[in-house]
Amino acid sequence: MTQERPKILIVDDVPANLVVLRKLLAKVPADIISASSGNEALALALDHEFALVLLDVQMPEMDGYEVAEWLQSEEQTRGTPIIFVTAAYKDDVHRITGYEAGAVDYIEKPIEPAILLSKVGVFLRLYQQKQLLADALHQLESLNENLEQRVRSEVHKNLEQERILVQQSRLAAMGEMIGNIAHQWRQPLNALGLLLANIKDANDFGELDTEQIENSVAKGVQLIDKMSTTIDDFRNFFKPNKEKATFSLRKAVQDTLEILAATFRNNNIAVQVEAEQDVVAFGFPNEYFQVMLNILNNAKDAMLSHEMRRGEIRIAITRCGEQAEVTIRDNAGGIPEDILPKIFDPYFTTREKGTGIGLYMSKIIIENNMGGHLNVRNVEDGAEFSVTCPVGEGNA
């Protein structure tokens, strides 16, 4: 920032004195502005910022002390240093009055040029340093403001990214879900098809009677009910929980397996659940279900990519103190050590059609939202995921 040339106000009711002062100050690097009365001085002081005021004490109407007092009382001029220019006094009474009014120094008449210049020089330097300090402060403030703004916009960007990720993971999960629904529906759809074909056959051969129609309708309604339950099941799972609740881990695992049952059966994947006792956990059950679904789907994907003839998944439910733990172990060959540290990163995937956010979202759900841990390690012939979360009330 460029510094303005400092200004000095000189105040004296005798024009000749002003001329003398002006001459003496000719070489000082400042603009000299003069006032010939206290009133004029005050008006100027409100219009300009002065580095220093050289103030004659004895003036008619308003003397130097009054001017000084007034300058002291105004917020805008309070910090401006004043040098009283006064006749020599025998005692210090006036000097003390001057200091009380805010004077910073005295110069006696007749003015000794060297003394005047050295005092004025000191105050000018002080003023310039004060300006520099104010500039630095100003710069610091605007830097600070910039920084705050940048932090705010970064935070905003992060939130936005998080939101997009959540959205994408929902879509990806929906895709999986539709695949699973398709599997679940295949069997009842086939059965419905058979039912209709039977009715047509019976009709063709003239064997259709009321009893058969009623039986077929009852069976059809049953099948449709089953299909509709599947949809309800999925829908419930996809509603995010608003409040934490206690839930049974055994039930969470069983519900997940039920939904995957058809997919697993078609891909020849066997699941074994070991739970000596049920464990009650505390958190968001529907989100927890999504985590289970992600991990189990990943195991299935790994098995498919290895074209395994028989996949095996072992799930264990245990309680370790205040932690409720579910481990899911597969036999799909494990995760290569070099990618192991990356699998929880957003968008990390080794699958051609993968989005790479399944495990990332799972980690956020378990660790950030539920206060638990989601870890992975390689075991003999596969990977083992461990999901822990706080236990809830009602455990045996």
Taking the C-alpha atoms of residue 249 and residue 326, their distance in angstroms, rounded to an integer, is 8
Residue 176 CB, nearest distance to Mg ion (Å)?
8
Contact partner at residue 252 from Mg ion, ligand ATP, none, CB < 5 to 8 Å by partner kind: none
Q: For residues 80 and 169, which CB has a smaller minimum distance to Mg ion in the complex?
A: 169
Taking the C-alpha atoms of residue 378 and residue 336, their distance in angstroms, rounded to an integer, is 9
φ, ψ (nearest 5 deg) of residue 59: -140, 150
Amino acid at 97: T
Q: For residues 55 and 296, which CB has a smaller minimum distance to ligand ATP in the complex?
A: 296
Contact partner at residue 356 from ligand ATP, Mg ion, none, CB < 5 to 8 Å by partner kind: ligand ATP
Sign of the dihedral defined by the CA atoms of residues 101, 105, 111, 116, in that order: negative
Q: For residues 120 and 359, which CB has a smaller minimum distance to ligand ATP in the complex?
A: 359
Residue 190 CB, nearest distance to ligand ATP (Å)?
29
Residue 360 CB, nearest distance to Mg ion (Å)?
10
Contact partner at residue 332 from Mg ion, ligand ATP, none, CB < 5 to 8 Å by partner kind: ligand ATP
- According to DSSP, residue 341 is labeled G
Long-range interactions of 150-156: CB distance < 8 A, separation 24+:
none
Tokens of 195: 């039912």
Q: For residues 10 and 343, which CB has a smaller minimum distance to ligand ATP in the complex?
A: 343
Contacts of 72 (CB under 8 A, 6+ apart): 78, 101, 102
Residue 343 CB, nearest distance to ligand ATP (Å)?
4
Q: For residues 119 and 363, which CB has a smaller minimum distance to Mg ion in the complex?
A: 363
Taking the C-alpha atoms of residue 95 and residue 35, their distance in angstroms, rounded to an integer, is 22
Taking the C-alpha atoms of residue 50 and residue 32, their distance in angstroms, rounded to an integer, is 10
Contact partner at residue 351 from ligand ATP, Mg ion, none, CB < 5 to 8 Å by partner kind: ligand ATP
Q: For residues 126 and 340, which CB has a smaller minimum distance to ligand ATP in the complex?
A: 340
Residue 287 CB, nearest distance to ligand ATP (Å)?
15
Q: Which residues bind ligand ATP (CB under 6 A)?
A: 172, 294, 298-299, 301-302, 330, 332, 335, 343, 348-351, 354-360, 383
- Residue that the structure tokens 């001029």 belong to: 77
Residue 297 CB, nearest distance to Mg ion (Å)?
6
Q: For residues 42 and 313, which CB has a smaller minimum distance to ligand ATP in the complex?
A: 313
Residue 256 CB, nearest distance to Mg ion (Å)?
14
Contact partner at residue 163 from Mg ion, ligand ATP, none, CB < 5 to 8 Å by partner kind: none
Contact partner at residue 283 from Mg ion, ligand ATP, none, CB < 5 to 8 Å by partner kind: none
Angstrom CA distances, 80 to 144, 192, 270, 378, stand at 29, 97, 88, 76
Contact partner at residue 288 from Mg ion, ligand ATP, none, CB < 5 to 8 Å by partner kind: none
Helix axes 113-204, 285-305, angle to 10 degrees: 70
Q: For residues 17 and 297, which CB has a smaller minimum distance to Mg ion in the complex?
A: 297
CB 135 within 8 A of CB 1: yes
Residue 277 CB, nearest distance to ligand ATP (Å)?
27
Contact partner at residue 355 from Mg ion, ligand ATP, none, CB < 5 to 8 Å by partner kind: ligand ATP
CB 6 within 8 A of CB 124: yes
Residue 269 CB, nearest distance to ligand ATP (Å)?
12
- According to DSSP, residue 364 is labeled I
Closest-CA residue to 54 (of 5, 1, 2, 117): 117
Contact partner at residue 247 from Mg ion, ligand ATP, none, CB < 5 to 8 Å by partner kind: none
Q: For residues 57 and 357, which CB has a smaller minimum distance to ligand ATP in the complex?
A: 357
Contact partner at residue 335 from ligand ATP, Mg ion, none, CB < 5 to 8 Å by partner kind: ligand ATP
The torsion defined by the Cα of 326, 300, 377 and 278, in degrees rounded to 10, comes to 10
Taking the C-alpha atoms of residue 146 and residue 141, their distance in angstroms, rounded to an integer, is 9
Q: Which residues bind Mg ion (CB under 5 A)?
A: 298, 358
Helix axes 38-47, 64-73, angle to 10 degrees: 30
Residue 299 CB, nearest distance to ligand ATP (Å)?
4
Q: For residues 188 and 333, which CB has a smaller minimum distance to ligand ATP in the complex?
A: 333
Question: What's the gap between Cα 20 and its chain centre?
Answer: 66
Find the residue with minimal CB distance to Mg ion: 358
The torsion defined by the Cα of 390, 393, 290 and 350, in degrees rounded to 10, comes to 20
